[in-house]
Structure 1
Amino acid sequence: MKKYTWLIILGLLVIVAASAVYAGKMHRVPERTTAGSVYQAPAGHSPGLDTQKQASTPDANMQSAGRPLKKNGQPPAAVKTTTGLSNVKHGWGIKRNDNHQQPEMPSGISSTLARYGAWWIGKPDEKTVYLTFDEGYENGYTPKILDILKADNVRAAFFVTGHYIKSQPELVKRMVAEGHTVGNHTMNHPSLPEIGDGQIKTELQSVETMFNKLTGQQMHYLRPPKGEYSERTLALTRELGYHNIFWSLALVDWVPMPGGPEEAYRSVMDNLHPGALILLHAVSKDDTEALDRMIKDIRAQGYSFKTLDDLVKGK
């Protein structure tokens, strides 16, 4: 009897150990790119051309309930679409350079984005910068970010999830009151190509209804979760009145940077270029502490800050 008892205990220990290893893999912090803290397309990939995976962001991790999951080991049901357009999922990555020129983008991707009113960069001959923040949850830094932007007279864009509006209504109202753009980052942060047309409408309209009730304002800009899109999602969201807003410069800033605020600062300044559309995550202490210095030194190099309205309207 004792022999069988020990065998059972040993079996349980093996199961526990295997579960721990699996959990560790599922929750591993994403590896940093070899180019410091700047996010770029993985080696060998072209931006937007395939289903390359972008490292998970904190808001994505928290709002993962919106993603279709396997049921009983089976893949999710086929996505219901009405447009007849391609639903091949593309990730977002940038092939950057170190000479302060705009990153490369294949002409086919550029033309598709333009066809559906999507933006990722400004004009190559204008020293302008568009500053944007993604807000999945509040980590205590947004009030300071807003203080800095107000003191430096910069208007930025904040892309918020439904969770953020629910949990931080006063900060959202402050963004609007101080002249910032508030954009849609969906209700539950799903990968849009993975859900049907009706679900996309619900994801966007739920957020815009909450935002309108809170502020009386409308939403016109969308940051697709994780930068994942398809021709179908570009077309459908444009029909719903949105411009998809991607980026030309982003950081691995949802985890603490080894170099702290100095690394955040250098990552932006070393990769600054005309028309830069910068994505920062407001959960980052490093970004927040470097922000004022960034803004002042960006201006010192002759750049001016403009809004997404300026970008889309060609001002």
Structure 2
Amino acid sequence: MLGGQTQVLGATVRGDSTKKKISLVFTGDEFADGGEEIAKSLKSENIKASFFLTGNFYRNSNFKSLIQKLKKDGHYLGSHSDRHLLYCDWNKRDSLLVTKAQFERDLKLSYKEMENFGISKTDANYFLPPYEWYNKTISAWTEEQNLRLINFTSGTRSNADYTFPQLGKGYKSSTEIYQSIISLNESKPTGLNGYILLLHIGTDPRRTDKFYRLLPKLIAYLKENGYEMVKIDNLLNH
């Protein structure tokens, strides 16, 4: 625990569980189909969110106007790596799949792309690892870069909003995802306090049941339950 925050393997995964604050965090790499709709929903409710995007995303000319809009609206824009590398083995988490030099070069390139939008490393010192998968070594390397590694808070299925039917048992419908958030809030004493709730700015076309269409409903529920939705730096600033 750090200032009431929760850490796992060196990354901060939850803010202060005694405060009714929550961060809506969106990641993006190759898809951005929900971008305009998400931006519109957030603006209409006067909510600031955080977007962690890859260098692939920042480089994509089709996404340029969307990124500019998100920045203009005052959302937090951060790095999700440059090429969306898998840092460590899915089954043997301690086994690295990248060298330190590869990690540092990829990270540097992502911030170079962000500079094209006027975002400096100082502006965006929170870093969300690709695939939301890392280990203690990645955390240490991140810290050496004067960055702070974060990850989503476990307990809900919000991060499964990228799944599609062809994945079989791995697929989670938007109704299931929404219900998992409600169920956790109603079953835990601290509810969603300090939660980093991760969603995706776009998903594979094979997923037609887009969770971002439920964002207005989710925001209304969170507001009704007394939650303040803030940017990641507000949530974790101690």
TM-score category by the smaller chain?
0.7 to 0.9
Paired position in structure 2 for 1:163: 56
96, 101, 106: which one aligns with 1:198 = 101
Paired position in structure 2 for 1:228: 133
Would you tell me which structure has more strand in proportion to its own residues? 2
110, 113, 124: which one aligns with 1:207 = 110
Using the TM superposition, give the Cα deviation of residue 244 of structure 1 relative to its aligned residue in structure 2, in angstroms: 1.0
Matches within 5 A, 1:13-24: none
Paired position in structure 1 for 2:176: 263
Is it true that 1:291 corresponds to 2:196 in the alignment?
no
The structure, 1 or 2, with the larger RCO (C-alpha pairs under 8 Å, 6+ apart) is 2
Indicate conservation of the 8 Å contact 2:161/2:199, yes or no: yes
Matches within 5 A, 1:1-315: 110=7, 112-113=9-10, 118-167=11-60, 168-192=63-87, 193-218=96-121, 219-248=124-153, 249=156, 250-256=158-164, 260-272=173-185, 273-284=192-203, 286-314=210-238
Q: Secondary structure at the match of 2:162?
A: coil
Q: Secondary structure at the match of 2:14?
A: coil
Indicate conservation of the 8 Å contact 2:22/2:235, yes or no: no
2: CA distance, partners of 1:186 / 1:229: 12
- The percentage of counterpart residues that share the same residue type is 22
Cα offsets for 1:74-98 (capped at 9, x unmatched): xxxxxxxxxxxxxxxxxxxxxxxxx
Indicate conservation of the 8 Å contact 2:28/2:201, yes or no: yes
Cα offsets for 1:48-98 (capped at 9, x unmatched): xxxxxxxxxxxxxxxxxxxxxxxxxxxxxxxxxxxxxxxxxxxxxxxxxxx
2: CA distance, partners of 1:260 / 1:304: 26
Using the TM superposition, give the Cα deviation of residue 261 of structure 1 relative to its aligned residue in structure 2, in angstroms: 4.0
Unaligned ranges ≥5, structure 2: 1-5, 88-95, 166-170, 186-191, 204-208
Cα offsets for 1:128-181 (capped at 9, x unmatched): 111101101224211110110111111111111111111122222221111111
2: CA distance, partners of 1:261 / 1:110: 28
Larger gyration radius, structure 1 or structure 2: 1
Cα offsets for 1:17-76 (capped at 9, x unmatched): xxxxxxxxxxxxxxxxxxxxxxxxxxxxxxxxxxxxxxxxxxxxxxxxxxxxxxxxxxxx
Q: Secondary structure at the match of 1:214?
A: coil
1: CA distance, partners of 2:216 / 2:79: 26
1: CA distance, partners of 2:133 / 2:199: 17
1: CA distance, partners of 2:230 / 2:180: 21
Q: What do you get for the CA RMSD once the two structures are aligned?
A: 2.1
Indicate conservation of the 8 Å contact 1:186/1:203, yes or no: yes
Indicate conservation of the 8 Å contact 1:251/1:267, yes or no: no
Question: Structure 1 residues 237 and 180 mapped into 2: Cα distance closer, same or farther (>3 Å)?
Answer: same
Indicate conservation of the 8 Å contact 2:160/2:172, yes or no: no
Indicate conservation of the 8 Å contact 2:81/2:107, yes or no: yes
TM-score by length of 2: 0.77
2: CA distance, partners of 1:230 / 1:260: 29
2: CA distance, partners of 1:254 / 1:297: 22
Using the TM superposition, give the Cα deviation of residue 126 of structure 1 relative to its aligned residue in structure 2, in angstroms: 1.1
